[in-house]
Chains A and B, each alone.
Chain A
Amino acid sequence: MPSLLKRAKDIELKLHALVAEVRELKDELREMEEENSRLRTELAAVYREGCPGAKSSGEAEVKYRGFINLLDLYDQEYHICNLYFGRRRMGECLFCMAFLRKEMELDASGEDGA
């Protein structure tokens, strides 16, 4: 049976190792969070580009595709509202629906105008 002091020292070493591991995990977590938020911003940018679309004859189509993309994203259970864009969605969201409705009305009025 090792002495109490020895056992305490062993535990101390283990704790040090554990703390080091936790620190490592924290670093990795931070990196992932940063990447996640970067990806979210990128995603938002891509969708934004998709919406206003090119001028000329393809405009309506591009706009429509932008809307479909958003709808797809919403269907894949992500928020598309400005509050939580790109975050996982649990159930429906009033703000996403309002955004979709606005987009749809814009599309409709655009078609009427054409």
Chain B
Amino acid sequence: MKILTNKEILNNAVQLVQRAVSIKNPLPILAGIKFETRENQVILTATDLDIGIRCSFPAEVIVQGTTVLPAKYICELFRRLPELPIFIEADAATGSVTIQYGQSETRINGYPPEEFPELPLPEGINSFTLPGELLKEIIRQVVFATGNDENRPVFMGVLFEINGSELQVVATDTYRLAWRKVIIENCEETAINLIIPGKTLNELLKIIGINEQIEVTVTKNQILFVAGNVWLISRLIEGNFPKYKQVIPQNHILKVRLKTRDLLDATERASLLAQVKSPVIKLNISENKIIVSSYSEAGRVHEELDVYQEGETLQIAFNAQYLGDVLKVIGSEEIIIELTGPLSPGIIKPVGDNEYLSLLLPVRLREE
């Protein structure tokens, strides 16, 4: 293989695919990035067998071929290359790869390319497209609620429920739950349920741009996202997502409406002084006011917010971190909080929008 390219293109592509490189995997080849040429394109691939990222870029291909280079060295090297034309030449016989820039060169020993696992692009069973901006928003609004308990893999993923042109996205770690509904255009009439690993979606967030259409292809156990010249392939989580609709309370005894920013700021300040291990903040709701308070050995915080209140008065406590997580992604200026009781989950949703909601279980207050 011999190619001619420049630093910027090369570095961008390598930084993109290296997210999927697996350093700790017992298979040493997975610590490498595969370079292959196809006519005047160079395709870079990395995978940890759970997810795979592929990126192609145009280059002057002098000799076609394939090589696998250790990500650890080339990531750092490519970042530090000078702004000069760069030749990469692989010697198929010895496996060593020469990187030439100006009058200098670095030689790196590659891995045998035939050991690199094939990354079959799934044949589409179902496919649809989503605007990148919308997909990013959906992921951000939901993915924070995924769990990290490996004994319960279903909760480490996000459920995508497609029914006709309606897409419902849900994640829960059993302490909180986030749900979002959107209508997708140009989708075939299908009904599919898939659980996408939270990790995959977090990676996806980093690689998709706002102004592009994302093509999504789903098979039985894999999902492929294509964003321009970048592919991300991931396995899906097997298993059944529990019936989540039943956990959403239908009747509330108290409803408040307030500015998102006000509550977020107060929550963040109050959590500064809350116990570090479990940052609990108390909300005291009465007479069109919320009193946000927290205390610990370090001191105490007491904040009053004006709200619009409907219903009974209530004292409730939440994990400040969890409350902050929701408020940061809700993306609306004003929110409505619906409460059913001091022990029942609270519902947080944007004003005038029935397409998003987040559930949060209160923390039980110990008798003082």
Contact = CB atoms under 8 A, between A and B. Distances in A.
A101 B172 CA distance: 19
A62 B319 CA distance: 36
A94 B249 contact: no
A95 B362 CA distance: 14
Main secondary structure of the interface of A (DSSP, over half): helix
Contacts of A113: none
Interface residues of A, number: 10
Contacts of B177: 94
Interface string B243-282: 0001101000000000000000000000000000000000
Nearest to A92: B361
A9 to B, nearest CB: 32
A102 interface: yes
A59 B313 CA distance: 34
B364 A92 contact: yes
Given A91-B175, A95-B174, A95-B247, A101 B344 contact: yes
B180 interface: no
A97 B175 contact: no
Interface string A74-114: 00000000010000000111110110011000000000000
Contacts, number: 36
Given A95-B174, A97-B345, A102 B361 contact: no
A83 B242 contact: yes
B359 interface: yes
A99 to B, nearest CB: 8
A94 B247 contact: yes
Contacts of A101: 249, 340, 344
B176 interface: yes
A101 B361 CA distance: 13
Given A101-B249, A102-B246, A94 B172 contact: yes
B323 to A, nearest CB: 14
Given A97-B247, A97-B344, A98-B246, 10 more contacts: A83-B242, A91-B361, A92-B175, A92-B361, A93-B175, A94-B175, A94-B176, A94-B361, A95-B242, A102-B246
Interface of A: 83, 91-95, 97-98, 101-102
Interface of B: 172, 174-177, 242, 246-247, 249, 340, 343-345, 359, 361-364
